[in-house]
Structure 1
Amino acid sequence: MATAQNSLPKVEAFLAALNEQSFFKDASTQGSVLWYIAFYKKRAPQRRRAFRAGGFILLFLSISLPFLTQLAPKDLQAQVASTLAWLVALVAAANSFFNWQKAWQGYVQTQLTLQFALTEWELRTAEARAALTDEEGLALLREGLQKFIKTVSEAVSGETAQYFEGVKIPETRTGS
């Protein structure tokens, strides 16, 4: 009995043509699905560490401000308190400005969406190879490809939009 791979030449030709497209290349090809997955996989832990470190520093400085101020000599207490309060404000502002938690969440969510979409595409290609006819296999591939491209586009553009939505320049007010 011939294998499905040999009996559906149009399906195999379609898949071979897709593999030549940059969208389906390896992780080193910018714009490929694997490149996007690697992009988010690499950057998510950096945002998680920044969020966790910023939160810990903020918590530590806030809680220890009175204690550290009391440890300083009387003539330096106001300066120590002022410096610690400035550091608390700086860390809080950096966390708010860079929005590390939202970036971390967006990167992980997008990475997982892309990985699930890729898995679904791989299953669809297996289904197409197992189809009874080339026409049926090609129909499965076309439908799967449209869904795959749509999912990837929406995930990446949605994460990018959320990123730029979250990064805001502080408002400045001028007296009039």
Structure 2
Amino acid sequence: MIALMEFFNAINEFMDTGGQVLTVIAGVIFIMWLMIFERFVFVWYSYKSLKKHLIASWHNRVDQTSWNAEQIRIALISRGTTKLNRNLALIQSLVVLCPLLGLLGTVTGMIEVFDVMAISGSGNARSMASGVSRATIPTMAGMVGSLSGVFTATWLKRNAKKEAELLADSLTISH
């Protein structure tokens, strides 16, 4: 219990050191990873049953060679592809947003440094230290959040493309 309290105190101190922008970055990273986790759960569990349902509905058709059947096949592939690609664009947008928010944290931290310099009238390193940390910590957090999300977003996008191609191959004409 004490270790948990110390852990939360350390996180609280870190968040205070980074300023308000760090709280926004943490929220964006949390939402991004929540959406990434949902995509992993869908790919590993829900998509299998969806794929079986789409393949079964295609193979249960009597007519698989007419123009109408081809349009139904395209619609089934599109339905599976749409489900696979759900929220990927939003995840990629959040990945791009993280370093931009880090840059905002840098700017606000540097404004604090300049305010301290204007008030004190000198470049005293001790008085500027909190502003410098408010400038660097959000930048680091934004980059770490972006890097962690870019790899998983790329994997999810490649996997969605591969699964869509496999679905299209599975919906072939059976004789």
Larger helix percent: 2
TM-score in terms of structure 1 length:
0.41
- Higher RCO by CA contacts (8 Å cutoff, separation 6 or greater): 2
TM-score in terms of structure 2 length:
0.41
